[in-house]
Structure 1
Amino acid sequence: MILAEKTINIMQQNLVLTNQRALFWKETETIVLSDLHLGKTAHFRKNGIALPSEIIENDLQRLSDLIIHFQSKRMIVVGDFVHAGKNSEFNLFAEWKSKFSDLKIILVKGNHDRIAKEKLFDIGVTEVCEIYEEEYFIFSHEQLYSTKRFVISGHLHPGIRMKTPVGRFVKFPCYIVSNTQLILPAFSSFTGLDTKNHPENSHYIFFTKEDIYTI
């Protein structure tokens, strides 16, 4: 894994954005991510669409690398931790979580997280809530407009479309940042990109496998 980082300061807090689809909140030693979509590839396979199991395995390895690199004590998932009902990938996550037994996981429920809390607790999630507030921030799956705190959300799977020197267009996942909110990219590598439905008056921090850039 090639890790590129860009630190931004919001509400006097240092958020380290990475090209690995997650950020690290330095002051609280917390990894923050969105849209893991656990069980998505298994759900597709169950419905007759051949997808390799390595997709979720690679995503979890990337998450392991981030936790180890930043020595994270906690993880906040801002929604769509789960894609569908319980399936074989739940066992993969439970095995993964056993390697990080002290890691606290807070899940802010997303539109896909339609599953009993008990099943989430069984695989290592510590806390489940609709919206999570902590000091300077509100963590919400979908965009939320607040005058009290800065909002960190997901759901959109944001991306940007850029024209290359040879006239072709390429898409990159990105973070969207404004004065009131930060929208995270999807952590899952098996997601599309929304390049249109973006809030106004924002700027973009996009990334490749090798680096991270601001436009």
Structure 2
Amino acid sequence: MTITCQDEKLILDKERAIFLPKYQLLAISDLHLGKSAHFRQAGLQVPATIAQTDLQRLSLLIKQYHPKTLLINGDMFHHGLNTDIDEFSAWKKQYQELDFLLIKGNHDRLSSADYAAMDINIHERSFCLGPFCFIHQAPNYTEEELYPISGHIHPGVTIVGKAKQRLKFPCFYFGKEYALLPAFSLFTGLYNIYPKASERIFAVTPKSVLEV
């Protein structure tokens, strides 16, 4: 789905990503690589294929949009180094020409040397481009004029069907003060958003993105 925000065209993809054609930038949030491996280390039976599936989805997005820059809007890595992150390092080698940017989130705890070894450019607080400023937690943003695009809370929306069934989906949120991206990882919960009349919500269903 294509929308206009701050007089710029944005493409909202059902794989929980946005693409800014003018800047050839693909943005996702809350990838949480390493989360499944971290849980397995703690003795919980979490499938080892979660990280593989998320990376495959990301590969399809890169193939579709051919971005110059991939921006991860916080929480790229869930914890410390583990097998999921080793897998990411091997996967990334096929994208030598793609610029990887990470705005550090509360779960991004690797050392500067670890990020440098993977050729990931770090932005400690935010990354601003055109009228937008990507930041992991939008309420912490204080600059004026630029429109913050955030992640962190894993936004979701509940849709009530004709038979009173309730379905909950990840969503994109665009309010007056900031926007929220859905969590990219499939291994995350959802925080329900209740929009006001002036705010826009776009549900991410298995087949498409639709405004609700």
The interval holding the TM-score normalised by the smaller chain is over 0.9
Contact 1:117 1:128 in 2 (8 A): no
Summarize deviations over 1:130-178 as a string: whole Å, max 9, x none.
2112231111001135431011110010001122222221100000012
Correspondence 1:194 to 2:210: no
Amino acid at match of 1:182: A
**Counterpart residue number, 1:19:** 14
Amino acid at match of 1:165: K
Contact 2:75 2:107 in 1 (8 A): yes
Contact 1:94 1:124 in 2 (8 A): no
Contact 1:145 1:151 in 2 (8 A): no
Contact 2:76 2:102 in 1 (8 A): yes
Amino acid at match of 2:170: P
Matches within 5 A, 1:83-94: 83-94=78-89
Unaligned runs of 5+ residues in structure 2 are: none
SS at match of 1:69: helix
The alignment-based identity, stated in percent, is: 33
**Counterpart residue number, 1:114:** 109
Correspondence 1:176 to 2:173: yes
Choose the corresponding residue for 1:152, options 129, 149, 153.
149
Task: Report the Cα distance in structure 1 between the residues aligned to 2:57 and 2:201, rounded to whole angstroms.
Answer: 23
Q: CA deviation at 1:115?
A: 1.9
Contact 2:135 2:151 in 1 (8 A): yes
Unaligned runs of 5+ residues in structure 1 are: 1-5
With normalisation by structure 1, the TM-score equals 0.92
Query: What is the Cα-based RMSD across aligned positions, in Å?
Result: 1.7
With normalisation by structure 2, the TM-score equals 0.93
Structure 1 consecutive aligned stretches of length 4 or more whose deviation exceeds 6 Å: 197-200
Task: Report the Cα distance in structure 2 between the residues aligned to 1:13 and 1:124, rounded to whole angstroms.
Answer: 29
Higher mean C-alpha displacement, 106-115 vs 32-41:
106-115
